[in-house]
Structure 1
Amino acid sequence: MSEIQAVLCGYYGKGNGGDEALLVSMLEMLPPNVKPLVLSADPRATSKSYGVRSYDRMNSGAVIRALRESQVLILGGGSLIQDATSLRNSIYYGGLLGLAQQFGLQTIALAQGIGPLNKPLTRWIAKRAFGNCTAVSVRDPASAALLEGWGISCQMAPDPVWSMAATPVPEIANISRPKIAVTLRSHPKLTTERLDVLTRALVDLQAATDSQILLVPFQLTTDLDLAQQIQAELTDNSQVVTLTDPKQLKGLFQGVDLAIGMRYHSLIMAAAEGCKCWAIGYDPKVSKLMTEIDIPGWELADIPTDAGAISRSWQQHLTTGTALSWASLQTISRKSLAHKDLLTATLGKIASSQKVAD
């Protein structure tokens, strides 16, 4: 089969564990005849971590060079085209898809979580960008319904991180006491008052359960200060765990008894490793996940003001709650491979047509 080069673009090189996990998943999906070229905010780190060529995502000359060298652009995965935070992401990724299509590249949007799209401009960008793609897959029913309403066909499957291999973390696995992992992130709705009540609830939870509290920043630039601030209020049976390898991040949850998380991919990783989960919804994607796999929790704006009530809810879930069954996990993991099947089939057709053209 003819060798082709594919540009991979997403929120890569920003130090976000979830997005790096998506990149690892994308790289694992590629057939042997496809050479990846990753657009990254930190191309040197990306090349070193994953053994791939990488160009600066904000260097227009480098981006154009990458497109001219390649036959395919793969957008994946995650909530890349949305306007919940700003218009910049939608303009960047929508513009990149449009530019690649103008250059004659086949474009594939993989494992997308589309929206929210509250503004007419972002809806227009999304409709145009996805409508001109060779193939599209999404990770949730709402994204599928949106595209189908626009007459754009797509494949729907769970997020690919569900099936990403995990690497055990022995120093965590060897802790004998109950383990509780906490993944919070900064957010305008995580006010000083809400952070204080969550911290007091964690102090109470630790005292009541004699647990080891693992504070896990998924993105050091936004999460580390929070983790350190909370850890300062806890006993010695706590630690801030900083991991940059996505597979280790997932492996950390092996043997963890309860994961309390804001981060979308922290909840997926924890659930995939058989951990009980409690969600704090700060974004529609987390709220959707809570509904899809029945994770208990609160919306960030609706967190109780009574630290004792929060702690008692966590204690009850730790004692009587259930994790996803092995059968459910196997089903979700198998279904998530549909993204790979779509990618393999599409790239196979592109390579075959490339060989004919040559």
Structure 2
Amino acid sequence: MGQIKAVLCGYYGKGNAGDEALLASLLQMLPPNVKPLVLSGNPRETKKRYQVESFDRMSAWQVFKVLRNADVFMWGGGSLMQDVTSFASPLYYAGLMGLAKQFGLRTIAWAQGIGPLERPIIREIAKQVFAKCELVSVRDRASANLLLNWQIPCGLAPDPVWALESLPVKGLWDLPAPRVAVTLRQHPQLTPERIANLTKALINFQKATDTFILLVPFQKSKDLAIAKSIQSQLPGASKILTLDDPRELKGLFQGVEMAIGMRYHSLIMAAAQECRCFALSYDPKVSQLMQELSIPGWELTEIPDDPKLITQTWLDCYANGDSLSSAQIQSLVDRALIHRELLNQALAGG
């Protein structure tokens, strides 16, 4: 069985724990005959963390060089083709996919969450790019339905992070229990007033439950300032916990009773560890996850103006909320491994 050189492309090396978790999941699922070549915003850190060859995603010379010497080009999970956060981002990923085609590489779009696609031109580009891929797999029903409408075949399975191996977090069990994790991020709809109300509600929640609050930034540039602001006002014990290894980040939720999360992958990681979850949705992917798993929560625009009502809702979730059962979790993990089976089919054998 010959070795296959596969270029892995995603939002890697940019300090976003969700995208790092997707990369870790992909590396875990690659067939043994595949040599990963990772495009990264921080190649040195990516190489150190995952023990793989890594290249600067913004260096045209490095990208051209690695594509010339590869066999396969792969989008490695996540919401790469969407134009809400950036107009340039989908053009970048589509451009690399097109370049890979010109170099004669096999192309794979793996574990994608497609959209939102608000601009007709980006929507058409996405349609053309997906249509030319040898393999497409998606992580949600909405993405699958979009491709179905475009008459593009695809595999559908839960997000691969469900199947990501977790690692223990040093010192976690030395922290006071019970523990509640909070993952908030900057967003235009998370206004200063809403942050203030959520903070007041969390203060009251901590007083009522005597819980240890873990504030967990998934992306320091967008999460850390909010975490620091909240921690400075909490009356009880708390800690801001930043973890660089996504496997440890998933392991963190083994020691948490409840998670209050905006971050999509924070909710997946927490739910996968039998943790009760409460969601604050800023994106359709979070809303879809809430619906699929029956996770209680609010859209950001629906957060109550009354902190007492927020607190009471959280207390009810803490006292009476249900986590996923072991059987439900195992089913999601097993189905997430379909992404691995698809890779094996597409890549095994050289």
Give the TM-score range, shorter chain.
over 0.9
Query: Is 2:317 aligned against 1:317?
Result: yes
Aligned to 1:177: 177
Q: Distance in 2 between matches of 1:177 and 1:161?
A: 26
Q: Distance in 2 between matches of 1:76 and 1:329?
A: 23
Aligned to 1:160: 160
Please give the secondary structure, in 2, of the residue aligned with 1:253: helix
Aligned partner of 2:257: which letter?
D
Q: Distance in 2 between matches of 1:246 and 1:136?
A: 24
Q: Distance in 1 between matches of 2:325 and 2:215?
A: 25
Q: Distance in 1 between matches of 2:170 and 2:21?
A: 20
Q: Distance in 2 between matches of 1:327 and 1:37?
A: 36
Q: Could you tell me whether the CA contact under 8 Å between 2:257 and 2:275 is conserved in 1?
A: yes
Q: Which stretch has the larger CA shift, 172-181 or 242-251?
A: 172-181
Aligned to 2:150: 150
Deviation at 1:177, TM superposition (A): 2.2
Deviation at 1:269, TM superposition (A): 0.2
Percent of counterpart pairs with the same letter? 57
1:149-298 correspondence runs (5 A) = 149-298=149-298
**Could you give the per-residue CA deviations for residues 101-160 of structure 1, whole angstroms, max 9, x where no partner exists?**
111000011000000111111111110111000100000000000001111000000000
Runs of at least 5 residues in structure 2 that lack an aligned partner in the other structure:
none
1:28-177 correspondence runs (5 A) = 28-177=28-177
Q: Could you tell me whether the CA contact under 8 Å between 1:181 and 1:256 is conserved in 2?
A: yes
The count of aligned residue pairs is 350
Q: Distance in 1 between matches of 2:11 and 2:193?
A: 31
Deviation at 1:61, TM superposition (A): 1.0
Please give the secondary structure, in 2, of the residue aligned with 1:182: strand
**Could you give the per-residue CA deviations for residues 45-92 of structure 1, whole angstroms, max 9, x where no partner exists?**
111111111111011111111100100011010100011112111101
Q: Could you tell me whether the CA contact under 8 Å between 1:177 and 1:212 is conserved in 2?
A: yes
Q: Distance in 2 between matches of 1:341 and 1:203?
A: 46
Aligned partner of 1:125: which letter?
I
Question: Cα RMSD over matched residues?
Answer: 0.9
Q: Could you tell me whether the CA contact under 8 Å between 1:173 and 1:254 is conserved in 2?
A: no
Aligned to 1:356: none
TM normalised by structure 2 equals: 0.99
Deviation at 1:11, TM superposition (A): 0.3
Aligned partner of 1:121: which letter?
I
Q: Could you tell me whether the CA contact under 8 Å between 1:7 and 1:66 is conserved in 2?
A: yes
Deviation at 1:31, TM superposition (A): 1.4
Aligned partner of 1:294: which letter?
S
Please give the secondary structure, in 2, of the residue aligned with 1:122: helix
Aligned partner of 2:23: which letter?
L
Deviation at 1:170, TM superposition (A): 4.1
Aligned partner of 1:136: which letter?
V
Q: Could you tell me whether the CA contact under 8 Å between 1:173 and 1:252 is conserved in 2?
A: no
**Could you give the per-residue CA deviations for residues 7-66 of structure 1, whole angstroms, max 9, x where no partner exists?**
000000001111000000111111121111100011111111111111110111111111
Q: Could you tell me whether the CA contact under 8 Å between 2:33 and 2:348 is conserved in 1?
A: no
Q: Distance in 1 between matches of 2:140 and 2:5?
A: 29
Aligned partner of 1:235: which letter?
P
Runs of at least 5 residues in structure 1 that lack an aligned partner in the other structure:
352-358
Please give the secondary structure, in 2, of the residue aligned with 1:116: coil
Please give the secondary structure, in 2, of the residue aligned with 1:6: strand
Q: Could you tell me whether the CA contact under 8 Å between 1:7 and 1:67 is conserved in 2?
A: yes
